[in-house]
Amino acid sequence: MKILCVLYDDPKDGMPKSYALDSLPKIEKYPDGMTLPSPSGRDFNPGDLLGCVSGELGLRKFLESNGHQLVVTSDKDGEGCTADKELVDADIVISQPFFPYYLTRAKMETAPNLKMAITAGIGSDHVDLQAAMDRKVDVVEVTYCNSRSVAEHIVMMIVSMVRDYHTQYAIVNNGGWNIADAVQRSYDVEGMHIGTVAAGRIGLDALRKMKPFDTHLHYFDRHRLPEAVEKELNLTFHDSVESMVKVCDVVTINCPLHPETEHLFDEKMISKMKKGAYIVNTARGKICDKDAIAAALKSGQLSGYAGDVWFPQPAPNDHPWRSMPNHGMTPHTSGTSLSAQTRYADGVREILECFFEKKEIRNQYLIVQNGELAGMGAHSYSKGTATGGSEEAAKYKK
Ligand code: NAD
């Protein structure tokens, strides 16, 4: 079979010759008891850089020794790109949300052999899920592999934004010492009302991680959490996003992108938020209206916006979020720490092994199967597509 794997570019100075840490901490299980990915083997060292082209997700030896063809590229956007050319006879496509290969209906129609799209990570909105259902292309992802990595990033961003770390760090780097400048937007998180849109694996973990800051915790989700969890964390459940954002100082967005959540945070929703609130969005850029966010930061309706997700990706060089005031944006990195890469590379191999050996793929990994939303897809997504406008990714110039 032919496997097309779209990965981000190598480091500018070539692959690392050594790493900051010699080994990774050992994690046995995820908090709900789900086991970590368990492929039959591994051809890399845990902690290696695997998500870039030369890292190949550690798959080449395994695939080639089993008679398969692996094509890896980062040339994924614009007419005539390598990925589009290689797609036409590919059986399986692998792509990471950090550097997504937007698998639109038009692209799928060029690929009659395509059987499966694997997300090396979590969040399969870069695939036109409706087209995948219509064309019976299965879509799978490595559920839980980086959920807790993202929750750590959320905590980092809430605390650094509320305390205004970025300004203070810049003052030091610029040789300055004006403490009044450094603190005029700096607050404590303690006592704040923090709310999450969605309390799935990431949202719930972020709430848990914020609890020790002595905050008041809120959530909205289409699935209510067990009563015991609500009690343990003293959570306030809201039956609408509007009800929650009215009372929160910090709102973190943790639902998948699908037609119900696309542009959920538009001008109208932002106007219902508490004046001066902060948003941390590590879910997907398109859940927010980019111009409405930039305008709210300029007017002061929002005090800060941080996250690592953009639309499209890579973000065009003139994307307003690169230059808006009081932002704490990173490129899409929260789920691709070296720790997470080990887990999702293992997960992709587990999925491929199941597929080749005609064994069942874990139900938790399924988004679309046999023409229907399945597994986590049925739990967390709605039908339709959210890939419209993704061709704009070609505007990014290195
Ligand atoms: P999950 O499936 O465990 O949780 C998703 C939650 O969203 C579920 O509880 C579901 O009920 C809820 N939800 C779905 N639609 C909703 C709606 N319309 N309104 C309210 N709640 C809704 O997934 P997860 O592991 O928590 O990941 C969530 C999302 O985070 C992913 O789909 C992905 O988009 C994003 N993510 C980002 C990164 C990153 O690197 N930044 C990494 C992993 C995941």
What ranges do the domains of the chain cover?
A: 2-145+336-395, 147-322
**Whole-angstrom distance, CA of residue 43 vs CA of residue 61:** 7
Helix orientation angle between 147-162 and 201-210, rounded to the nearest 10 degrees: 40
The confidence score (pLDDT) of residue 201 equals: 98
Q: 96 an active-site residue?
A: no
Find the catalytic residue in 201, 284, 343, 362.
284
Question: Does 332 qualify as catalytic in the annotation?
Answer: yes
Establish whether residue 284 lines the binding site of ligand 1, counting it when its CB lies within 6 angstroms of any ligand atom: yes
* 96, 126, 130, 146: the active-site residue: 146
Residue with tokens 């006879």: 89
CA–CA gap between residue 351 and residue 120 (Å, rounded): 10
From the CB of 252, is ligand 1 less than 6 Å away? no
pLDDT of residue 291: 98
Contacts of 97 (CB under 8 A, 6+ apart): 119, 121, 122, 123, 125, 126, 313, 332, 335
Ligand 1 centroid to Cα of residue 382, in Å, is 12
pTM reported for the whole predicted model:
0.98
What's the gap between Cα 110 and its chain centre?
27
Token pair, residue 98, equals: 């950090």
**Is 146 an annotated catalytic residue?**
yes
DSSP annotation of 226 reads P
| 15-30 pLDDT tens trace | 999 999 999 999 999 9
pLDDT given for residue 44 in this prediction: 98
How confident is the model at residue 274, as a pLDDT? Answer: 98
Q: Which CATH number applies to 147-322? A: 3.40.50.720
Q: Crossing angle, helix 147-162 and helix 165-173, to 10 degrees?
A: 70
Question: Is residue 198 in contact with ligand 1, taking CB distance under 6 Å?
Answer: yes
254 lines ligand 1 (CB under 6 A): yes
The answer to whether the CB of 100 is under 6 A from ligand 1 is no
> What gap in Å lies between CA 3 and CA 43, rounded to an integer?
17
- Among residues 218, 327, 332, 362, the one annotated as catalytic is 332
Pick left, alpha or beta for residue 105 (phi over 0 → left; psi -120 to 50 → alpha; otherwise beta).
Answer: alpha
Sign of CA dihedral 74, 78, 81, 84: positive
Decide: 61 and 50 in contact? Cβ < 8 Å.
no
Confirm if 130 and 387 have CB atoms less than 8 A apart. Answer: no
Q: Is 280 in the pocket of ligand 1 (CB under 6 A)?
A: no
Taking the C-alpha atoms of residue 98 and residue 6, their distance in angstroms, rounded to an integer, is: 11
Q: Which residue has the tokens 């409706």?
A: 130
> Ligand 1: does its nearest atom lie under 6 Å from the Cβ of 147?
yes
Q: Which fold has domain 2-145+336-395?
A: Rossmann fold (3.40.50)
Q: Which atom of ligand 1 is nearest to the CA of 256?
A: 32
- Is residue 148 flagged as an active site residue? no
Low-confidence ranges of the chain (pLDDT < 50): none
Ligand 1: atom nearest CA of 199 is 9
Domains 2-145+336-395 and 147-322 agree in fold: yes
- Residue 251 alpha carbon to ligand 1 centre in Å: 15
Q: Which residue has the tokens 């799978």?
A: 140
Which is catalytic among the residues 168, 254, 313, 326?
A: 313
Buried b (16+ CB within 10 A) or exposed e, 49-67: bbbbbebbbbbeebbeeee
